[in-house]
Structure 1
Amino acid sequence: MLGDNHFADERNPRPGRAPGGFGEAAFDNVHPETGAWSDEVEDAPAFDLASYWRLALKHRVLILGCFLAALAIGAALTLLMTPIYTAQATLQIDREASRVFDAEDVTPRESMSQGEEFFQTQYGLLRSRSLAERVVESLGLASSDQALANLGVEPPARVGSAAAQAERRRNAALAAVQANLSVTPVRGSRLVAVGYDNPDPVVAARVANGFAENFIQANLDRKFQSSAYAREFLEERIAQTKGRLEEAERQLVAYAANQQIINVGEPSEGGADSSGSSQSLASNNLVALNASLAEARAARVAAEERWRSARSSQIMTLPEVLQNPSIQRLGEQRAQLEAEYQQKSSVYQADYPEMVRLRGQITEIDGQIQALASNIRASIQSQYVVAANQERSLLGQVNALKGDVLDLRDRSIQYNILQRELDTTRTLYEALLQRYKEVGVTGNVTANNISIVDTARPPESPSKPNMLINLALAAIFGLGLGIVAALVLEALDETIATPDDVEKKLGVPVLGVVPLLDKGQTTAAALADIRSGFSEAYYSLRTALQFSTPDGAPASMLVSSARPAEGKSTTAYAVALNLARVGKRVLLIDGDLRNPSMHRVVGVDNERGMSNLLSGSSDLATVVQRTRQDNLFFIPCGPLPPNPAELWGSDRLRHFLAEARKDFDHVIVDGPPVLGFADSPLLAATVGGVLFVLEARGTRRGQARGALRRLKVGRARLLGAVLTKFNAKTTSYGGYDYAYDYNYGAEGGEKKGVKKGKKA
């Protein structure tokens, strides 16, 4: 029955196999921690837009439902909302008001660096509770329940006293006014828009104007209060300073009277002499006597000089004598008499009576001149004596006054202290009086730096609700909610649905994707129809197996899955069938010694099989059966043994595989599920490769990872995964369509369809 085709291990070598063996492959391409395929998985990009698009398409119903539901809810809520009208008044806020007087104001000035703080302060004042209270009070917004109803506020219950009810109405109105107020600065200007929202446009305009007017009045009131406070402060300080001034004057006068300090007139500039004392009477006398002494000393020096000159010079050469009018007149008379005498001397003799008379007159005049000169010299002497006496007298008086002035200075120290305190107090008093007058004048001038540019008018159309904005927000919210829900569902989804899930969640390469059969279609019929997508999927799987190792498809292969009913038996049969169709001698083994089913698929009896072979009661030739397909041979399970794991762990399996290698190109084992049994790990450690079958949307990630870990323990070589029962109609995966469908025309077998599954 068996042919003569034999091949050695060297025809299909692979890493991890012991020479001369048929398996013992290592699970070296699986992550040591997670059991996931790791050596061929490339790093995914940080942001894969295509994967998010596939996620959106996968959950498109959920996202669209959230989107439409949000739009509907947003439209319904918008239609149910009460229309709100917004009225705005525009104010201009300047840093400083117009200057009417040049006097400084009592309020602080803002510098350019403090401008932003100034405007933020003004905006805060516009939003303040105190301004809202002024508006409520001035407009009577809390005067009645009807006034509250106009604000859109439900009147409070009528309980308690009238004062308590009024307080509750006031608090309700205040809360409504502050909640609906808006302060919007106009960027790059000193303008600010004060808006108010209300269902009634007239009320909205009235309240907005009330805020503008009361803000201006509050600003003026603050300025007036600042001036009033300054006046009160100055009045108090003036009264205190006046009292101190009067007390200082009394102390100064009392001390001056006690110390006999008499000042004549107001002090000169500086108020004191060089020693700091005031201009007292003794000081004035000393100054006057000292001036007289200086004049007397000068007169004495001049008189002394004249007397010294008169005493040492000829009397007739003295300037005083020569300049005396009497002497000059007598000199003229003598000169006339001398001339007459000389004239007559030529006629008369010296003893002539006329000549004697003339000589006598000349002699008499000479005596008079001599007497006058002597008197002048005596006068110069007398002037010198008088000047010296006067100097000595004045010097004595000055020396006497010096002692009095020095004593006065000692007694004037405290007097000067009191005088300076009096002067300081008087200066402060006068400054306070001047400032008080300035504040009194500027306080009566209304200097305002806030003005109304535009008053609020009742708006014609409501500002809220805005249907377009609300629908846009609802659409954004619904879209975001749908995306979040899709991401949450995707994060919680543990199923393996697409080949992408296999590679990302398990890290295992996908060798084939088998589509889900239509209702009423059987596996045998689909495999028999070579044009069906089902057959084409397994053709692709066979091709992938040819490239799974450097030497083609493994000589021995285990087909297993994590749990039952995932399509592993169908996959094992289809792979064996396709390998046989290309001329390979294939031995298919039903390795599920617990729940065999392959004999029903192949259509043979199950009287003897692997259980007999492994137990030693039969040999290979007696258990191998031919199938309807050429080159395809089958070994059924045989009688169910009580201990399948012990049979698979015996050395007979290795001997059997070595013997089968001589006659068959490929040995394919349909193994039991991995989870819950030790059979598959034992088989995986012996065969040359493991093909892992996963059911789309049937196998969970935890189950698959657990199965991969168990295969790793058995040192299996994982070839890849096969995703079965994949519904290409409901799953869009990366632009691929796994509906393998070939349509052949009636004429000449021309192929009209194309194979889907190529990259879009």
Structure 2
Amino acid sequence: MNNPNASNIPGGAIARRQSPLVPAPPATAHPPATPRPLIPVLRDADDPDTDETSVLSYWHVLVKRKWLVIAVLATILLVVLVTTMITPSIYRATATLQIDLDTIKVIQAEGVTPGEGMSSRDYYQTQYELLKTRALAERVAAKLPENLMVSVHESLAPGALSRLKGMLRGQPAEDPAATTIDKDRLAAFVQQNMRVDPVRNSRLVRVHFDSLQPGFSATMANAIADAFIAANIDRRFDASAYAKQYLEERLAQLKLRLEDSEKQLVEFAQQEGIVGVDEQQSPAAQEMHRINESLAAAQQQRIEAEAKLQRTQQTSPEALPEVLLSTIVSQLKNRRTELTSQYQDKLRIFKPDYPTMMQIQGQIDEVDQQLRSEISRIKQSVKAEYESARSTESMLAARLSELKLQILDLQGRSIKYNILKREVDTNRQLYDGLLQRYKEIGVAGGIGANNISVVDRARAPRGRYSPNLTRNLALGLLAGLAAGVLLALMIERLDDTIKLPEDVERQLGLAVLGVIPRINQGSPLVELKNPRSVFSESYRSVRTALQFSTDSGVPRTLFITSSTPSEGKSTTALTLSLHFAQLGKRVLLIDADLRNPSLHHLLAVSNEAGLSNYLSGASRPLRYLCRTRVKNLTCLCSGPLPPNPAELLAGPRMVNLLQLAAASFDQVIIDGPPVLGIADAAILSNLSDGTVLVVESGNTRRGYGRAVLKRLMAARARVLGVVLTKLDPRSQGPGYGYGYYSYEESTPKRIGRA
């Protein structure tokens, strides 16, 4: 790290300190330092404090443009106040109605006219809309007394704004009392000033009426409530009368149709000789029903008999269930068992040909013959049972077929009869239903029950309803704040100037060497006299940043430039020269702005001869150096303004001058012209070891800054960073304070914690 008090002059230049700008050998020329730009510390996008910083930036914008917000707020509040004061007072009266569900049914037929089936929400919404209809307004207007017409005239009279517009248009003023109000206009007046306000989650509804007179508002609110109740009753009676008339006409028609259909039915039955066509009552139908049941039973018996027969043919005779269950077979088997047992007992004594033995054997053979005969008889009985069941089934099926033909013939002949009979039944049902409903309507129509009642009648209000000064001012306050904030944010959004150090890092990609506050009173030189002032401390931080800008310290030759004039580059060049001189360095300040020089005014020195004289070949620069009142600070003014500054600066004499200056002084600072519009700054930036760009806060546009940076890069300039000047910390919020010192006082004041 460089020592600020140590000299960076090469050994060959130390001996010539008393004779500056003496030509030195090329080997002793100061090599250009490798710039080491400061790396800006940018906030990570994933930092959780990003949202908080964004909100804080919005607050800074509002603080910066607080007077704009206050002006918009005051304007809107003034407009609201004036409008409220000149607006006529409106009085609102309120009548409260209770509306119950309607239960009257005109025609009791599902899907035709729903009564209670209508949802309560639809019903009440219908009633609210009926309150707003023009028919109700015309009903109220028709019953309005003559003594209230004056109040109507006053309410319909044009306001102050309307009269003023008419006067500006040249229209004559009309007398409200002399104007005749027609029916349509009066009904429109009632509709415009009436408000319907349903009470949530209840059957109550409030009817409001607004006018210029409290008593007139109460009268009109009560008149609307009474007219609505009367209109509801009229609708119910009209509906009953219409229903009765409609039912009478329909009953007469159905009565004639019923008589005609009955006559046709009787005549057709006489012609065809049909007596009781009902299938359930006719003998053929009854017999067919019985035969169906018998046929089913016969089929079941035939199936069972057929199964037995197949079993006798496929199974061993002795294993048949009928044989096993036969009592005779069982007795014969027992007898054979006894004889066999006797035969075996006597066989031990007698021989088979013994007469007794032969007799027993004969009995056994006889029993076997009887068993075979009995089994054969059982098999014959099973077969006979099957034949009988099959014969019965055939007879029943034949009879059923005959009955079916008879019934089908009867049905074919009774088609028209059934049609006529159904028509008679239908007409009789319709006639009976309409007759019953006609009687119900006749009874209900005379009752006149009403489901709407007045809960609270309207009274004359004691105070005006509108305009409400407090509410209007509150709304105006909210609207003014919103409009002011939106306008401030919109203007800030449209403002594309570089205002903060973050803008420099984000838009230009350069490090911020320092931030210089705006001086509202006095001059920079006056502020520099106080070494503890914020202005001096800010430039002292710039000097410190430059000492760490490269590996070898501060570049020997510094070029100070800006994008446009009046951004503070000359002040920055002078201030940095003074601060480097305070470190004991020999500093040469060159005013290279050959178009609009200003350093000789700031240093109060003569500008009769200077840099332009040397570049034009008039003499050596030694005679043009000016000693200043500041120790270790020498100045080379611009001299007379030449007609071709760019050609002079691009010549070899400017290169020789910078080599001599670098060899003779510890620090060379060049105050150059702006970059945009001219080529002087590009030439000087290429010849210098480092370039410092001065940007004025709130004045330099982002496009200008990018264009300047492109030109400097094209000229191969070594841009060290940016000095942001004329920053107003009070307009940018508390995030841009300056250390421990208050900006308002020139003496140091501790305002933070150590």
- Bucket of the pairwise TM-score, normalised by the shorter protein: 0.5 to 0.7
2:590–2:638 Cα contact (<8 Å) kept? yes
Q: Deviations over 1:618-667 (max 9, x none)?
A: 66767666544443333343565543323434566556545544443322
Structure 2 counterpart SS, 1:685 = helix
What is the aligned counterpart of 1:461 among 452, 457, 463?
463
> In the aligned structure 1, how far is the partner of 2:257 from the partner of 2:699?
104
> In the aligned structure 2, how far is the partner of 1:478 from the partner of 1:221?
52
Q: Deviations over 1:258-285 (max 9, x none)?
A: x38497xxx79999635699xxxxxxxx
1:151–1:173 Cα contact (<8 Å) kept? no
Letter in 2 for 1:172: R
> In the aligned structure 2, how far is the partner of 1:189 from the partner of 1:255?
64
Q: Deviations over 1:152-189 (max 9, x none)?
A: 4569x9xxxxxxx98x6222222222222222222222
> In the aligned structure 1, how far is the partner of 2:8 from the partner of 2:496?
50
Seen in structure 2, the aligned counterparts of structure 1 residues 64 and 612 have a Cα distance that, compared at 3 Å, is: closer
Letter in 2 for 1:512: V
Letter in 2 for 1:754: K
What is the aligned counterpart of 1:273 among 274, 282, 300?
282
Seen in structure 2, the aligned counterparts of structure 1 residues 75 and 449 have a Cα distance that, compared at 3 Å, is: same
Seen in structure 2, the aligned counterparts of structure 1 residues 73 and 514 have a Cα distance that, compared at 3 Å, is: closer
> In the aligned structure 1, how far is the partner of 2:104 from the partner of 2:612?
113
Matches within 5 A, 1:46-65: 46=51, 48-65=54-71
Letter in 2 for 1:198: S
2:95–2:206 Cα contact (<8 Å) kept? yes
1:736–1:759 Cα contact (<8 Å) kept? no
Structure 2 counterpart SS, 1:139 = coil
Aligned residue number for residue 190 of structure 2: 177
Structure 1 counterpart SS, 2:182 = helix
Alignment: residue pair count: 589
> In the aligned structure 2, how far is the partner of 1:502 from the partner of 1:623?
38
What percentage of residue pairs aligned between the two structures are identical?
Answer: 43
Seen in structure 2, the aligned counterparts of structure 1 residues 193 and 597 have a Cα distance that, compared at 3 Å, is: closer
Aligned residue number for residue 479 of structure 1: 481
> In the aligned structure 2, how far is the partner of 1:673 from the partner of 1:407?
122
Offset, 1:677: 0.9
2:106–2:243 Cα contact (<8 Å) kept? no
Offset, 1:108: 1.6
Letter in 2 for 1:192: V
> In the aligned structure 1, how far is the partner of 2:246 from the partner of 2:110?
16
Q: Deviations over 1:225-247 (max 9, x none)?
A: 33333333322322222221222
Offset, 1:728: 6.9
The TM-score normalised by the length of structure 1 is 0.65
Asked if residue 190 in structure 1 is aligned to residue 193 in structure 2, the reply is no
Seen in structure 2, the aligned counterparts of structure 1 residues 436 and 697 have a Cα distance that, compared at 3 Å, is: closer
Aligned residue number for residue 139 of structure 2: 134
Aligned residue number for residue 693 of structure 1: 694
Offset, 1:582: 0.4
1:22–1:658 Cα contact (<8 Å) kept? no
Letter in 1 for 2:594: L
Structure 1 counterpart SS, 2:682 = helix
2:90–2:211 Cα contact (<8 Å) kept? yes
Aligned residue number for residue 677 of structure 1: 678
Offset, 1:469: 0.9
Q: Deviations over 1:374-403 (max 9, x none)?
A: xxxxxxxxxxxxxxxxxxxxxxxxxxxxxx
2:151–2:213 Cα contact (<8 Å) kept? no
> In the aligned structure 2, how far is the partner of 1:106 from the partner of 1:20?
108
2:132–2:191 Cα contact (<8 Å) kept? yes
Asked if residue 206 in structure 1 is aligned to residue 219 in structure 2, the reply is yes
Aligned residue number for residue 100 of structure 2: 94
Aligned residue number for residue 16 of structure 1: none
Offset, 1:214: 2.5
Offset, 1:714: 2.6
Q: Deviations over 1:7-30 (max 9, x none)?
A: 89xxxxxxxxxx98526969x99x
Seen in structure 2, the aligned counterparts of structure 1 residues 595 and 272 have a Cα distance that, compared at 3 Å, is: same
1:85–1:461 Cα contact (<8 Å) kept? yes
Seen in structure 2, the aligned counterparts of structure 1 residues 754 and 428 have a Cα distance that, compared at 3 Å, is: closer
Q: Deviations over 1:697-756 (max 9, x none)?
A: 665555555434433433434334445556678886646368657767xxxxxxxx4277
Asked if residue 148 in structure 1 is aligned to residue 158 in structure 2, the reply is no
> In the aligned structure 2, how far is the partner of 1:169 from the partner of 1:500?
71
What is the aligned counterpart of 1:445 among 427, 443, 447?
447
Matches within 5 A, 1:413-428: 414-428=416-430
Offset, 1:575: 0.8
Structure 2 counterpart SS, 1:478 = helix
Seen in structure 2, the aligned counterparts of structure 1 residues 655 and 116 have a Cα distance that, compared at 3 Å, is: farther
> In the aligned structure 2, how far is the partner of 1:697 from the partner of 1:105?
76
> In the aligned structure 2, how far is the partner of 1:562 from the partner of 1:417?
107
> In the aligned structure 1, how far is the partner of 2:412 from the partner of 2:541?
130
Letter in 2 for 1:125: L
Aligned residue number for residue 375 of structure 1: none
Matches within 5 A, 1:15-30: 21-22=31-32
Aligned residue number for residue 635 of structure 1: 636
Q: Deviations over 1:80-114 (max 9, x none)?
A: 332222222222222344999999999523458x3
Q: Deviations over 1:549-607 (max 9, x none)?
A: 45543332111123334432232122112101102232322222334443454566657
Offset, 1:196: 1.4
> In the aligned structure 1, how far is the partner of 2:563 from the partner of 2:409?
127
What is the aligned counterpart of 2:258 among 239, 245, 252?
245
Offset, 1:6: 0.9
Aligned residue number for residue 66 of structure 1: 72
Offset, 1:131: 2.4
Return the index of the structure with the highest Cα Rg: 1
Asked if residue 667 in structure 1 is aligned to residue 668 in structure 2, the reply is yes
Aligned residue number for residue 516 of structure 2: 513
Aligned residue number for residue 295 of structure 1: none
Q: Deviations over 1:340-397 (max 9, x none)?
A: xxxxxxxxxxxxxxxxxxxxxxxxxxxxxxxxxxxxxxxxxxxxxxxxxxxxxxxxxx
> In the aligned structure 1, how far is the partner of 2:605 from the partner of 2:110?
118
Aligned residue number for residue 309 of structure 1: none
Asked if residue 431 in structure 1 is aligned to residue 442 in structure 2, the reply is no
Letter in 1 for 2:455: V
Letter in 2 for 1:210: A
Letter in 1 for 2:749: V
The TM-score normalised by the length of structure 2 is 0.66
| Higher deviation after alignment, 555-564 or 220-229 | 220-229
> In the aligned structure 1, how far is the partner of 2:249 from the partner of 2:577?
116
> In the aligned structure 2, how far is the partner of 1:75 from the partner of 1:613?
72
